[in-house]
Structure 1
């Protein structure tokens, strides 16, 4: 769960209400809490997954600037990637 939340946190500025959605998932990372998946936690996980895989950020590319390609392959389980160019400031920042 910590790996997933760490990955998702990198994109938090592009997910509206990120802190609210993931609050129940962060509780699972505590040493004093029994790792129990409830409907609320599963729904939060699925919603963040959906937001990460369906959000589109459209920008004009600047071919004078370098690109960074991030890939993640999990053997036979899946493959993912993201193409980055530069930081974009987003106003959808929040705290819980």
Structure 2
């Protein structure tokens, strides 16, 4: 895109992690009338916003970080091979 407008530029930034998997095609507003809600950024839920909804605050008391080793995932893969229906479906989905 040579010179994107600000809305298209915002969308490009938002979806750049999916680059290579999709193509962005600009459609004129006269043709693509149902995309208005997608072209606007949502407003923050703050008192200045006319649609502000007060929400109860929840404070985080603590965070627990655990390390899941490869053994956990290996057991999951093995159990999927035992379930024959799941194994057949997963093999079908992997094939191009």
For normalisation by structure 2, the TM-score amounts to 0.24
Higher helix share: 2
Structure with higher Rg: it is 2
Q: What TM-score does the superposition give when structure 1 sets the normalisation length? A: 0.24
| Bigger proportion of residues as strand | 1
